[in-house]
């Protein structure tokens, strides 16, 4: 197997694992925040507006780390500079 | 085994593992939120509407990380640019 | 062993592991929700209807991640594009 | 060892591991639900009917993930399309 | 070592590991249910009948996942279709 | 090393590991049930009879998973069909 | 290294590991039961007789899983049928 | 495979893993802070301003470690001095 | 390296590891029992006699699993039947 | 692959992993401190000034360990003495 | 490397690891007992004599498992029968 | 690859890992102390001076272990005696 | 690499790892005892003398396991009988 | 690579890992003690003197295990008897 092949398979592998590992933290974290929000609403129905607003702004911030991972995965699959280099020269 | 074969098996492996690993976090996270929602409803039956609405919006947000993984898996199986490159040239 | 063989064994392995790993999260998560529902019913027998309805809708949502895994496993066994490519050409 | 042999051993290995790993989650999950049900019955003997009904419907839903794994294991042992392909051609 | 030997050792290994891993979940799960049942009996001696009945029906359901594993192990040792195929042809 | 040797060492290894791994769950599980029984007796000395009866029936059920493992280990050492096959033909 | 050597070293390794791993569960489990018994005696000195009797019967049952492992280890060292077979034929 | 290829694949692999591993801590950490903020708002609605201000300043500080990882990943993909060295000399 | 050497090094390795792993469970278990005994004495100074008696009988029982491991380690070092066999024949 | 290549890839790998692993502790640690600060502000709004001052000084101290890791990563990428040595001599 | 060398290095490795692993359990266990003793003394200063006496007898018993490991390590370094055998014959 | 290269890459790898692993403990530990300090200040605003003084002296002591690791990493990169030896002799 | 080299590197590796692993248990254990002592002093300032005396005697006992490890590490570095044997004969 | 090189790289690796692993326990342990001290000061401001004295004596004792590790690391880097032996003979 030549350079071209190795770059391809490592890009595939890394993109998939990066997305998979990177989604564990945000998924569990956002869920915990959601749990607390539901709890707070039950305790303080009058503050529902403030709570849900803070919740969604905060979740967007947590979501950002998942999006970093998604961005890296997409770069590796569709805009990989190493792959571009190798297929331009066809010298592997 | 040539490049074509390696790209194929790594794509299969990565797609499956990405989906599997990526479903652990959301499944556990959504379930926790559901647990809390059931608890809150039992405590505050009057807020059932607000609670379930917040629950389903939040779960959709958590679900999004599982969907990112599903998207990556589908791309790797059905729209893999590396595989397309190799089978177009038939040069591996 | 040629490409055909490798694609076959990796597909088998990935399908099985994807299903196995992907069933851990939903199984534990749904069970937790069920635990809470039973608890809430015992505390608020009057809300049994609301609780079980929310429970089953939520469990269906959690179940969805297990179903994603099942779908990926079935695709890998019965509708694998890489396998189709290799057996069509009989060139491995 | 040829393709035929590899497909055979990987199918055996995957079927067994898929079943084994896939039974951990449901077993623990169902047991937790059972624990809570026993607890709720002790607290609210009058709701025994509702509780056991919800319990068994919920356990069936949790059991479904174990059954997905069992199905995949059986497919791999008795209806494996890759094995069928290889023994039909006797070309491995 | 030929195909016959590999199929034999993998079947042995898988059967043993499947049984071993698959017995952890049910053993711990059933024990937890038993713990709760003993606790509930001590709290509500009058409900002993209902509790033990629910306990044994539930444990049977949990036990089912261990039995799936036992079934798979027995199939792999005594009714293994791959082994049957190879010793019928004596071509390995 | 020939088939005969491999089957022998894998059988030894699997039997030992199956027994070892399979004894962890039941040992811890039975002990937990015993803990609770001692606790319940201290709380409700009048229910000692009911509690110990439920305890020993339940422990026997938990013990069953350890016995499945012991059975598999004994089959692999003393009634292994693969070993029987190989030493009957003395062709390995 | 021939078959004889492999069978010897695997038997040694398996016997030791089986004993080691198999002693973790019972040791921790019995200790927990002992902890609870000491606690119960301190709470209900009048029930000391009943408690210690249940304790020692229960510990013997938990100990049984360690004894299964010890039996397997001893069989592998002193009554190993595979070893007997190989040294009888001196053909390895 | 030559130096050029190795540098390429290790850069890809490291960038992806660095991003994935580095997002776990911040995601879980920020979510915990968000959980507490929602809780505090429910307890002290009058301090909402102070709490959210402290929350977002603190989250930005926690986010900084994820950004360090993102920076390292981007450097490895787009401004890698080792890769620059090797492709300038075309001597690998 | 011949059979003699392999048997020697595996015996050394197994004896050490068996002792090391096998001492973790009893050490932690006995310590927990001791913790509870100290606690119970502080609560019920009048029952010191009963408590310490039960403690030491119970600890001896827990200690037995460590002693099984020690016995296996000593057998492997000083009374190893496989080693005896090989050095008697000096045929390795 | 020569010395130059190995030094390059190990530097890349180590820099990335060092940053990734080193960001887990500070991220989680700072988040916990932030959680407590939010909690304390809700309990003692009058001490907000003291609390936030202590919080940010303390977080800077915790952040220092992440910065040590970032420094090491930057040294390995941009000021690596081993790399400098090898490319100066062009003798690898 | 000949038998003599292998026996030497495995003995060194096993002795060190056996001591290291075997000291974790007793160290943590004894410390827990010490924690409880300090707690009990603070609660019942009048029972200091009884408590410290039970503490040191119990710690000696827990320490015994560390001493078994130390004994095994010393036997492997200074009284290793396998090493003695090999250097007596100088046939390796 | 010669000695020079191996010493270089192992030094790089060890320095990075030593720093990364060594920063986990202090980061989490210091954060916990900070958490408690914030809590204590909220409970006892009058003791703020004593608490922060003890906090920073204690954190410096905990920080010392991170600094040991940083020192070792710097020695390995910039004052490595093994590297000095090899490049002085240019004999590898 | 000859025997002499292997013995040297394994001794170095084992000594370091033995010390490192062996210091985890005592460090955490002693710290827990210290935590409790500080707590007890705060609750019972009058018993400070008794508490600190018991603390330091107990810590010395826990420290003993770390010292066993340090002794083994020093023996392996400075009084290693295997190393002595090999360098005396200069036959490796 | 000759003996000299192997001894060098293993010494580097062991020194770094020994320091890194050995700093986890003390860092976390000392931090816990510090946490408790801050807590005790807040509860008993009058005992600040006694508490901080006991704290720093105890932390020094815990720190000792980190110092053992640092000593071993320094011996391996700067006073390694195996390295001294090999470079004195220049026979590797």
Distance CA N29, CA N32 (A): 5
Q: How many contacts does J have with L, using Cβ atoms within 8 A? A: 159
Q: Which of N12, N37, N58, N70 to mutate to test the interface with L (most CBs of L within 10 A)?
A: N12
Which pLDDT score is estimated for E42? 87
Phi, psi dihedrals of residue N90, rounded to the nearest 5°: 50, 15
Which long-range CB contacts under 8 A does B49-52 form with residues at least 24 apart? B50/A41, B50/A45, B50/A48, B51/A38, B51/A41, B51/A42, B52/C54
For I12-22, what is the mean pLDDT? 91
Band of pLDDT at residue N14, cut at 50, 70 and 90: very high
Q: Do the Cβ atoms of G21 and F21 come within 8 Å?
A: yes
Distance CA A82, CA H77 (A): 8
Chain G residues touching F77 at Cβ < 8 A: 75, 81
pLDDT tens, residue by residue, E56-80: 888 888 888 888 998 899 899 998 9
Nearest CB to D25; choose among C27, C78, C87: C27
Q: How many contacts does B have with C, using Cβ atoms within 8 A? A: 159
pLDDT in tens, chain D (92 residues): 677 888 889 999 999 999 999 888 899 999 999 999 998 888 888 888 888 888 988 888 888 888 899 889 989 999 899 888 888 875 44
The answer, yes or no, to whether D and L have at least 3 beta-carbon pairs within 8 Å is no
Nearest CA in chain G to I45: G42
Residue A91 in this model has a pLDDT that exceeds 50: no
Which pLDDT score is estimated for L18? 92
Chain K residues touching M72 at Cβ < 8 A: 15-16, 19, 73
Which pLDDT score is estimated for N92? 41
Q: Do the Cβ atoms of A68 and H66 come within 8 Å?
A: yes
DSSP E44: -
Which chain N residues touch L if contact means CB-CB below 8 Å?
1-2, 4-5, 8-9, 11-13, 15-17, 19-21, 23-28, 30-32, 34-39, 41-42, 45, 48, 52, 55, 59, 63, 66, 70, 73, 77-78, 83, 87
Please name the residue ranges forming H helices in chain B: 3-43, 48-78, 81-89
Q: How many contacts does M have with N, using Cβ atoms within 8 A? A: 160
Which chain D residues touch E if contact means CB-CB below 8 Å?
1-2, 4-5, 8-9, 11-13, 15-17, 19-21, 23-28, 30-32, 34-39, 41-42, 45, 48, 52, 55, 59, 63, 66, 70, 73, 77-78, 83, 87
Beta carbons within 8 Å of M63's beta carbon, 6+ residues apart:
M26, M30, N61, N64, N65
Nearest CA in chain J to H3: J5
Encoding tokens for residue D86?
A: 């290889």
Which pLDDT score is estimated for L11? 92
Domain ranges, ordered by start, for chain M: 3-89
**Minimal CA separation from C74 to chain B, in Å:** 11
pLDDT tens, residue by residue, B23-70: 888 999 999 999 999 988 888 888 888 888 889 889 888 888 888 998
Chain K residues touching I77 at Cβ < 8 A: 75, 81
On the 0-12 / 13-18 / 19+ scale of CB atoms within 10 A, L9 is buried
CATH number of K3-85: 1.20.20.10
Convert H14-51 to b/e letters by CB count within 10 Å (16 or more is b): bbbbbbbbbbbbbbbbbbbbbbbbbbbbbbeeebbebb
Where does chain B show beta strands of DSSP type E?
A: none
- Say which CATH superfamily domain A3-89 falls into: F1F0 ATP synthase subunit C (1.20.20.10)
Percentage of chain G exceeding pLDDT 90: 21
Phi, psi dihedrals of residue H83, rounded to the nearest 5°: -65, -45
Q: Which of B6, B9, B10, B12 to mutate to test the interface with C (most CBs of C within 10 A)?
A: B12
Band of pLDDT at residue J1, cut at 50, 70 and 90: low
Chain A residues touching H23 at Cβ < 8 A: 22, 25-26, 65-66, 68-69
For E11-20, what is the mean pLDDT? 92
Say whether G44 sits in a helix, a strand or coil: coil
Chain F residues touching G13 at Cβ < 8 A: 13
Chain D residues touching C16 at Cβ < 8 A: 14-15, 17-18, 72-73, 76
Residue H90 in this model has a pLDDT that exceeds 70: no
**Minimal CA separation from F70 to chain G, in Å:** 7
Question: Position of tokens 């320490």?
Answer: K63
Distance CA K72, CA M63 (A): 20
Average pLDDT of chain A to the nearest whole number = 87
Domain N3-84 indexed as CATH 1.20.20.10: yes
On the 0-12 / 13-18 / 19+ scale of CB atoms within 10 A, I79 is exposed
Q: Which of A13, A65, A85, A87 to mutate to test the interface with H (most CBs of H within 10 A)?
A: A65
**Minimal CA separation from N23 to chain L, in Å:** 6
For H1-7, what is the mean pLDDT? 80
Average pLDDT of chain E to the nearest whole number = 87
For E12-20, what is the mean pLDDT? 92
Which pLDDT score is estimated for G48? 87
For M12-32, what is the mean pLDDT? 91
Q: Answer with the residue of higher pLDDT: J89 or K28.
A: K28
Cα Rg, chain K, nearest whole Å: 20
pLDDT tens, residue by residue, A18-71: 999 988 889 999 999 999 999 888 888 888 888 888 898 888 888 888 889 988
Band of pLDDT at residue K5, cut at 50, 70 and 90: confident
Q: Do the Cβ atoms of L23 and J28 come within 8 Å?
A: no
Residue pair H19/A68 in contact (Cβ under 8 Å)? The answer is yes
For G1-13, what is the mean pLDDT? 85
Q: Do the Cβ atoms of L25 and N21 come within 8 Å?
A: no
Which pLDDT score is estimated for E64? 87
Which pLDDT score is estimated for N90? 57
- Say which CATH superfamily domain I15-82 falls into: F1F0 ATP synthase subunit C (1.20.20.10)
ipTM score above 0.85: no
Distance CA L85, CA L80 (A): 9
For I5-27, what is the mean pLDDT? 90
Average pLDDT of chain F to the nearest whole number = 87
Nearest CB to N12; choose among L11, L51, L61: L11
Q: Do the Cβ atoms of J75 and L77 come within 8 Å?
A: yes
Band of pLDDT at residue J12, cut at 50, 70 and 90: very high
Encoding tokens for residue E25?
A: 């979940």
Residue pair E20/F18 in contact (Cβ under 8 Å)? The answer is yes
Question: Position of tokens 């952890």?
Answer: E24
Encoding tokens for residue H84?
A: 């620059």
DSSP H3-54: HHHHHHHHHHHHHHHHHHHHHHHHHHHHHHHHHHHHHHHHH-GGGHHHHHHH
pLDDT tens, residue by residue, F28-49: 999 999 999 998 888 888 888 8
**Minimal CA separation from F27 to chain G, in Å:** 5
Convert I33-53 to b/e letters by CB count within 10 Å (16 or more is b): bbbbbbbbbbbeeebbebbbe
């Amino acid at each position: 197997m030549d350079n071209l092949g190795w770059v391809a398979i490592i890009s595939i592998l890394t993109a998939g694992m990066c997305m998979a590992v990177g989604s564990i933290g945000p998924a569990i974290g956002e869920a915990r925040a959601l749990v607390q929000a539901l709890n707070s609403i039950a305790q303080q129905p009058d503050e529902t507006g403030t709570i849900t607003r803070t919740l969604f702004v905060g979740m967007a911030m947590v979501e950002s780390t998942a999006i970093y991972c998604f961005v890296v995965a997409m770069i590796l699959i569709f805009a990989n500079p190493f792959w571009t280099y190798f297929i331009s020269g066809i010298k592997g």
